[in-house]
Amino acid sequence: MFRHQVDLHGSRRYQAALSQGADPSTELLKRTGLKVNVKLNKGDEKERRFNVPYEMRAYLGEGKRLIAIDYRGKTVYRIYNPKLRTCKVPNWFGEVGEEVEILVRGITLSDLLQDINERWGLPLKLRMRRDEKVSMILEGKEVVADIVKIGWGGDERPYVEITIPDYLGLKHILWFKYDYETEPCLGMVIRGKKIRSRKVLSIRYEKRVDVVAIVYDIGGGRKSTHVIYLSEVPGIRIFNSGLFETEGEKVGTGWLPYELLKGTDWGSTEEKGMLGHRIAKAILENEGFSGVKIDNSVKNHWNRNDETVYYIFDASGTKNEEFMGFEIKLTTESERGMLSNLNNEDTKNELLKGIRIWNNVAKKHGLPITKRGAVISIYVDVGSGYFCFKARWLNAS
């Protein structure tokens, strides 16, 4: 948008207009910008200041407005205040006392959003709407947001801040800004006891659950995920199973509903265990198992004389007239941890022990014998609600 600017300040047309008493703030100048020479003065550590010349004041007018200053192929955005006689720019503009030529443009918020679209590597586009809201286009999905604020951040840099409402009406804040080296930065504000700003590393749209997932930096080389549920996710969703995949790296995947993601105490071993059993139930039912039962005691507390006999296994069910038992493991650490649990010998032995106990009880009480079972290992990303899983099948000894 800003790659082909016209140098009006040095043109005959501009000089002729000024000599005839024309106002420098004509519509032609508003569209193309004004080139002026300014002398750099000392500012703060990373800043330079210059006195705003008459031509620039006349061009920009009386009110506060968003401006762009082009220099050396880069663009700096500022909020121009006509009450201030100086303007700040980054120190890379030049040395103190140096005179430089800059192109000043009075721009609109739509211009700024378009420049964000052109410069960023993130998979999103921002568009102004006629109702003065913003459309965030992410992987073909239009997310409507409200403009909350345009102005200076606490670090003296201009930004535009938007809020995105989720299906519950909760508002999630994103801000778009430029640092002193004019590198674009997408940030997120997390509302808790304090409002914290975090730099966003990536953002994606999960079409199957209508969720925006935002990965952000939490410092120390670590990252976390924040999610915006645009629609309600009805129960635990399974995208692809892979339960009977015995070879290769294929894993099953799925997504948790908001109430499970936010309602689970992730520090509680018992609650995580119960969630693992509920995910396993969804996996088995998705695979066509009937009579699926899970251990609601979470500790395999069972009695051979009632329904709790099924608690011998973490989960069990029947498919194609074959009864099978399952040992469930859930981790929130990493997919590597999921695979480690899958191949753990103690976990394997727990399942084989359960199969032996079940078959002994089954023979006495007329229950179906099981010839095989599986360890189902699950990894849940507690920031987003995404999970994946893999199974290891074992035959009864």
Q: Is residue 166 part of a domain?
A: yes
Q: What is the C-alpha to C-alpha distance for residues 328 and 215, in angstroms, rounded to an integer?
A: 28
225 & 251 share domain: no
Q: Is residue 6 part of a domain?
A: no
244 & 388 share domain: yes
Give residue for tokens 């009579």: 291
**What does 214-251 look like in DSSP terms, one character per residue?**
EEEEEETTEEEEEEEESS---S-EEEE--TT--SSS--
Residue 139 φ/ψ region, left for φ over 0, alpha for ψ in the -120 to 50 degree band, beta for the rest:
left
35 & 167 share domain: no
Measured in degrees and rounded to the nearest 5, phi and psi for residue 224 equal -140, 175
| pLDDT of 253 | 93
Q: What is the C-alpha to C-alpha distance for residues 164 and 178, in angstroms, rounded to an integer?
A: 21
Measured in degrees and rounded to the nearest 5, phi and psi for residue 168 equal -90, -5
Q: Is residue 5 part of a domain?
A: no
Pick the last residue of a domain from 210, 229, 248: 229
| pLDDT of 158 | 62
Q: How many domains does the chain have?
A: 3
Q: What is the C-alpha to C-alpha distance for residues 163 and 170, in angstroms, rounded to an integer?
A: 9
Integer-rounded Cα Rg, in Å, for the chain is: 31
> Shortest CA distance to 93 belongs to which of 189, 28, 180, 216?
180
244 & 387 share domain: yes
3-class DSSP state of 39:
strand
Q: Is residue 90 part of a domain?
A: yes
147 & 178 share domain: yes
349 and 373 in contact (C-beta within 8 Å)?
no
Q: Is residue 306 part of a domain?
A: yes
> Shortest CA distance to 87 belongs to which of 97, 98, 95, 76?
76
Other Cβ atoms closer than 10 A to 272? 20
Record the tokens describing residue 136, joined without a space: 């965030």
102 & 116 share domain: no
> Shortest CA distance to 146 belongs to which of 175, 168, 117?
175
Q: Is residue 48 part of a domain?
A: yes
Question: Which residue range(s) make up the domain with 66?
Answer: 12-107
249 & 365 share domain: yes
Q: Is residue 96 part of a domain?
A: yes
Rounded alpha-carbon distances, angstroms, from residue 196 to 75, 76, 162, 189, 226: 27, 25, 15, 5, 13
| pLDDT of 311 | 93
- What spatial distance separates the first Cα and last Cα of the chain, rounded to whole Å? 71
Pick the last residue of a domain from 186, 210, 229: 229
pTM for this prediction: 0.74
215 & 256 share domain: no
- Size of the chain in residues: 397
Cα four-point dihedral sign 242, 243, 248, 251: positive
| pLDDT of 39 | 96
Measured in degrees and rounded to the nearest 5, phi and psi for residue 318 equal -125, 135
Q: CATH number for the domain including 87?
A: 2.40.30.100
Q: Along the chain (397 residues), what's the average pLDDT of each consecutive run of 10 residues? A: 30 47 50 88 87 92 87 84 90 92 90 78 83 89 86 58 89 74 62 64 90 86 88 93 68 93 93 96 95 91 86 95 96 93 94 95 92 95 92 89
Q: What is the C-alpha to C-alpha distance for residues 39 and 95, in angstroms, rounded to an integer?
A: 10
327 & 289 share domain: yes
Q: What is the C-alpha to C-alpha distance for residues 89 and 102, in angstroms, rounded to an integer?
A: 11
167 and 179 in contact (C-beta within 8 Å)?
no
164 & 256 share domain: no
244 & 385 share domain: yes
162 & 248 share domain: no
Pick the last residue of a domain from 76, 107, 138: 107
Q: What is the C-alpha to C-alpha distance for residues 174 and 39, in angstroms, rounded to an integer?
A: 36
Q: Is residue 310 part of a domain?
A: yes
